[in-house]
């Protein structure tokens, strides 16, 4: 009698992963779905990685080895070739799966046999810590443009079928390969679907230094270009190529400047501006927000020191941005404070908000919209009561910064966004109270035709699922984009 093949193969590329790999494997052994195998591909480790895998003591865990380090992509391909399961889940050696990760994806794929690729939201952990610092929720509907403008999902978010992974040639062996892997899946006709829950935890490491920023940047751009050059790419997507390349140059420009590689950082910034002049439009808001997001990502580092270093290296033609340096410092404190409060670090939040107030930080409209985006994402994961509790915990700090008006603005923005969310879910009874609450807190919503439309449709019973809230004027949309547009904080690629 032959052995029954597992339904899922979890593939872990591992290189000198002894520090975190035991926890990673434990997160698999605690799954609520148990019909799986784990294939750890030791990619030329020089530490105790192989021994730790052998000591895991579970027959479902298999160890394969490369004699030398070939990179995470080739390790994934080795795992794919050896996989017995019809479903493939990818997991980086230092990330963790939520206990429901495999069950949620398998049940969805069973119910939707036309879907070949699924992905989910994930928690971001504090650098070199197990505490949650954020929640990344990718677009529910991914387009090819999303995939090319900036990588919206990480390897540990991904699940696909072995049939599709094999059909498109598996993972290319170079940095930025996610662009090519998913681009090929998309262009080959694979259907994507989002499981809108945070089902894994992504770990980051403090003080990381990139050995060859120029090569990393060039490799990612080459990966993007590989997809853009495919004749199957629609013309409207092809027209976004320069913006996509600009996004990549901008991220790596930050890393170059953060590492005091001044000439390279300036060159990448100039290339960014050449490809997409809008990067420095609106008084440099896009550029400044990226600098703030990256400099505040690692709680172990002082963002004021990082920003001082970067501003001191800006090219002469961007010297005018220096007048925005105090704003950037203050805004960084403001966001660090909000993030700390949302994720239960009240003392850190108090400290950051106090510093923001001392620096004259302002609770402006983009900040309120971003804060609302984070609160709604938190609410989606933990429920309405939890979302409102966190929102209310922010009110005293917002009053310190912007007075009662800042609190009213957040209440209004939060209410109108919840109203649109309820309308989309056809929970029409909830809509009128939420819209009226938004009107009461922020009378500007009285000029919002989209808000009036969903209010009247909900009251009259003429709600339509095909109604598009995108008709709401920009700036008051129900959906706020992540702070870097479609680009995740940090470069693309698995960590190895």
SS3 494: coil
Q: Which residues touch 433 (CB under 8 Å, ≥6 apart)? A: none
For the record, the structure tokens of 353 come out as 């908000």
User: Max CA-CA distance within the chain?
Assistant: 75
Q: Among all chains, which residue has been given the structure tokens 């700036």?
A: 475
* CB-based contact 121:202 (threshold 8 Å): no
pLDDT in tens, 327-360: 999 999 999 999 999 999 999 999 999 999 999 9
Residue 463 — very low, low, confident or very high, per pLDDT cuts 50/70/90? low
Eight-class DSSP state of 193: E
Domain positions in the chain: 8-202, 362-486
Query: Is the pLDDT at 481 greater than 50, yes or no?
Result: no
> Strand pairing of 158-161 and 117-125?
antiparallel
pLDDT value for 473: 30
pLDDT in tens, 37-83: 999 999 999 999 999 999 998 999 999 999 999 999 999 999 999 99
pLDDT value for 492: 53
Rounded to a whole number of angstroms, the CA Rg of the chain reads 23
3-state helix, strand, coil in the chain (%, to 5): 55, 10, 35
Residue 465 — very low, low, confident or very high, per pLDDT cuts 50/70/90? low
* CB-based contact 91:12 (threshold 8 Å): yes
Query: Is the pLDDT at 496 greater than 70, yes or no?
Result: no
> Strand pairing of 158-161 and 87-90?
antiparallel
If you average pLDDT over residues 316-337, what whole number do you get? 96
Residue in 169, 170, 248 with CA at minimum distance from that of residue 215? 248
Query: Is the pLDDT at 495 greater than 80, yes or no?
Result: no
> Would you tell me which CATH number, out of the four given (3.90.1150.10, 3.40.50.1000, 3.90.1300.10, 3.90.550.10), belongs to the domain 8-202?
3.90.550.10
pLDDT in tens, 283-313: 899 999 999 999 999 988 999 999 999 999 9
pLDDT in tens, 86-95: 999 999 999 9
Handedness of CA 189, 190, 193, 194 (dihedral sign): negative
pLDDT value for 342: 96
pLDDT value for 176: 79
pLDDT value for 242: 97
Buried/exposed 254-274: b ≥16 CB within 10 Å, e otherwise = bbbbbbebbebbbbbbebbbe
pTM of the predicted model, to two decimals?
A: 0.90
Of the candidate ranges 14-18, 174-178, 336-340, the one whose mean pLDDT is the lowest: 174-178
pLDDT value for 487: 40
Q: How many CB atoms lie within 10 A of CB 182?
A: 26
Residue 205 — very low, low, confident or very high, per pLDDT cuts 50/70/90? confident
* CB-based contact 80:170 (threshold 8 Å): yes
């Amino acid at each position: 009698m032959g052995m029954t093949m597992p339904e899922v193969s979890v593939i872990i590329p591992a290189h000198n992963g002894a520090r975190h790999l035991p926890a990673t494997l434990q997160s698999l052994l605690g799954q609520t779905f148990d019909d799986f195998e784990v294939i750890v591909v030791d990619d030329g480790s020089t530490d105790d990685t192989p021994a730790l895998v052998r000591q895991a003591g579970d027959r479902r865990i298999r160890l394969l080895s490369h004699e030398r380090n070939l990179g995470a992509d080739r390790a994934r391909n080795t795992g794919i070739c050896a996989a017995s399961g019809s479903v493939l889940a990818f997991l980086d050696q230092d990330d963790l799966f939520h206990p429901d990760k495999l069950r949620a994806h398998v049940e969805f794929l069973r119910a939707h046999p036309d879907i070949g690729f699924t992905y989910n939201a994930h928690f971001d952990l504090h650098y070199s810590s197990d505490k949650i610092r954020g929640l990344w929720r990718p677009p529910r509907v991914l387009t090819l443009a999303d995939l090319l403008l900036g990588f919206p999902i990480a390897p540990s978010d991904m699940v696909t079928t072995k049939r599709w992974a094999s059909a498109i040639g598996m993972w290319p062996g170079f940095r930025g390969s996610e662009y090519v892997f998913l681009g090929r899946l998309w262009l080959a006709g694979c259907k994507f679907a989002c499981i809108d829950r945070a089902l894994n935890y992504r770990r980051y490491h403090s003080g990381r230094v990139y050995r060859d920023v120029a090569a990393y940047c060039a490799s990612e751009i080459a990966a993007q270009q590989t997809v853009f050059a495919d004749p199957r790419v629609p013309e409207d997507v092809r027209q976004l190529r320069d913006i996509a390349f600009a996004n990549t140059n901008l991220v790596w420009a930050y890393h170059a400047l953060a590492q005091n590689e001044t000439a390279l950082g300036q060159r990448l910034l100039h290339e960014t501006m050449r490809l997409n002049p809008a990067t420095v439009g609106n008084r440099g808001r896009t550029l400044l927000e990226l600098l703030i997001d990256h400099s505040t990502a690692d709680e172990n580092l002082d963002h004021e020191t990082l920003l001082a270093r970067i501003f001191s290296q800006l090219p002469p033609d961007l010297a005018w941005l220096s007048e925005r340096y105090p704003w950037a410092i203050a805004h960084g404190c403001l966001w660090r404070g909000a993030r700390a409060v949302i994720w239960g670090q009240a003392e850190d939040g108090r400290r950051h908000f106090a510093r923001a107030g001392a620096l004259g930080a302002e609770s402006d409209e983009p900040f309120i919209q971003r804060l609302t985006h984070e609160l709604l994402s938190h609410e989606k994961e933990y429920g309405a009561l939890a979302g409102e509790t966190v929102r209310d915990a922010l009110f005293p700090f917002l009053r310190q910064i912007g007075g009662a008006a800042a609190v009213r603005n957040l209440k209004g923005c939060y209410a109108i966004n919840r109203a649109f969310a309820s309308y989309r879910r056809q929970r029409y009874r909830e809509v009128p109270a939420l819209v009226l609450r938004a009107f009461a807190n922020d009378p500007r919503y009285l000029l919002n035709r989209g808000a009036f439309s969903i209010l009247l449709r909900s009251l009259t019973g003429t709600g339509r699922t095909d109604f598009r809230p995108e008709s709401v004027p920009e700036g008051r949309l129900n959906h706020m984009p992540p702070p870097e547009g479609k680009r995740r904080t940090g470069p693309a690629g698995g960590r190895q």
